[in-house]
Structure 1
């Protein structure tokens, strides 16, 4: 949130900000990212999440996180709109108008204030705001524009028959290795932008192969355009 606040003060007329974890493996080029963001026409990419009224999400919503100066057990009432939770909503593409809304709107401020003492608060914030009717580029506006939600970032839990062959997990999420390249290439074909999680110091070969493939595709497209 601090980074978003600072971004609004810069003079460069940016239109989107991508919020990502550090161990992300890019599966498309910067050029294609820009092209796909333009096609969104100001709408956001935010994972939909689940209604926090469900037992699982509500359990996390009511957990108090330990922070200096945190209040007693009573952490205050929830805002009077539906709260949603999605771990994948941390990885989002947010329009500038939406960022301004998230930082200044009274409902956004009330939600953030309530979540500051909540476990995994970041998994509730954007997923909830992107469902509000007056939020710029929200989920409903994306659908109304006839646009599908892009496959922005995805993680895969546990070891699978066709992936995570080395069975190296972190937080129960598969860390891909060179053995998983066929699996990753298949995700690229399906239009995935980023894979989470990837650790370059664990297996640098994956990144090298993806970079070479993207460079090859780019050269092929340039050759086709020249012809």
Structure 2
């Protein structure tokens, strides 16, 4: 045999063996321990093709899942939202973005929720949030920070134009963190909502970094079973260490309020006086609603309420070791921006929503929650499922969507 042919044969054999080893060791990674009955393997180069299996492993805290998830996040391609920027037809927008287009049950159709959503950045995060909470029988007021870029405002307006029950607040504020403008933004939306034709039952406030953990049906059933006719404003009389904020303060800015209470806060002399007094206080939205809700004659008042309500799953830094075991993402202003390692804690939480998320930094955490929620929504539906309500079989990782 020619020596060159022999060397070439040995080289090809060696290359084939190396390729086999590389494929077996590096491209396939088990998400389950060898002791598990069922084993799941995923090609690193195909992160987008196994989203449900990967998410299931993340939800139960499989260590190998975090390694694969963190790898996949590096190859994440942001959703192509050109359809919103370029003003596609509304039918195309609704179908490609997978919005629910009919009430999913009689119970939901007869109980409308109003939402106030304050946003200022991350268009993709807003679209994911809106799609998750959207139902055609509800009504949505969007407050865009006046400081937001014009392109952002235009894109949001293009999306809103496709819905009769979504609108931009008629008056926009230059929102300052922990300032009075944040409270004023909610009040602006409330004035618009009480003048709308939709006969909504409760209003819920959200920010652009919130995400629901419960379906629309579950939220309604929670309100009706535990708080029927009452407002939900979790909070307590202020501790001494934060007395400098207002001298009469409570801590929590989230609420679920009856329509009667909203009308009361917009017209009652005491509510107007408290609003004026709050202008120079720190983070007035944290004390305004809960204080008014303690007035015995306010509609739906809960004068003796405490922290009950389960509105937001939040990992506060000062609660490490108490209510949670630490943030697996990173802290911003002492609040956890969730990472993959927080998913198990999030889904085991009894809360209606979770805060905070960053779609750009930890996209897989949000995508896993989105897939889990949409699956529950469709399972609970009591009407025929339309195909475009289903999310894609493949994830957004390593893929560019035509939306």
Q: Which TM-score band (shorter chain)?
A: 0.7 to 0.9
Mapped pair 1:56 → 2:241:
yes
Please point out which of 77, 84, 87 is paired with 2:249. 84
SS in 2 for 1:164: coil
Q: Does the aligned pair in 2 maintain the 1:163–1:183 contact within 8 Å?
A: no
Aligned equivalent of 1:198:
357
In structure 2, C-alpha distance between the alignment counterparts of 1:32 and 1:119, rounded to whole Å: 34
In structure 2, C-alpha distance between the alignment counterparts of 1:94 and 1:31, rounded to whole Å: 17
Aligned equivalent of 2:282:
119
Tell me the CA shift for residue 211 of structure 1.
2.2
Matched residue pairs, number? 191
Within-5 A mapping of 1:158-177: 158=317, 160=320, 162-166=325-329, 168-177=330-339
| Structure 1 unpaired stretches of 5+ | 63-82
Aligned equivalent of 1:207:
366
In structure 2, C-alpha distance between the alignment counterparts of 1:184 and 1:142, rounded to whole Å: 25
Tell me the CA shift for residue 158 of structure 1.
2.0
CA RMSD for the aligned pairs? 2.5
TM-score relative to the length of structure 2: 0.44
SS in 2 for 1:50: coil
Deviates more, 1:134-143 or 1:208-217: 134-143
Tell me the CA shift for residue 130 of structure 1.
0.9
| Structure 2 unpaired stretches of 5+ | 1-186, 383-403
In structure 2, C-alpha distance between the alignment counterparts of 1:130 and 1:47, rounded to whole Å: 10
Tell me the CA shift for residue 4 of structure 1.
0.6
Tell me the CA shift for residue 37 of structure 1.
2.5
Tell me the CA shift for residue 152 of structure 1.
0.8
In structure 2, C-alpha distance between the alignment counterparts of 1:141 and 1:43, rounded to whole Å: 12
Mark the CA change 1:133 to 1:57 in structure 2 (over 3 Å): closer, same or farther. farther
Mapped pair 1:46 → 2:233:
yes
Please point out which of 171, 175, 181 is paired with 2:343. 181
Answer with 1 or 2: which has the greater Rg: 2
TM-score relative to the length of structure 1: 0.75
In structure 2, C-alpha distance between the alignment counterparts of 1:205 and 1:142, rounded to whole Å: 37
Please point out which of 28, 32, 35 is paired with 2:218. 32
Q: Does the aligned pair in 1 maintain the 2:310–2:352 contact within 8 Å?
A: yes
SS in 2 for 1:107: helix
Tell me the CA shift for residue 140 of structure 1.
3.9
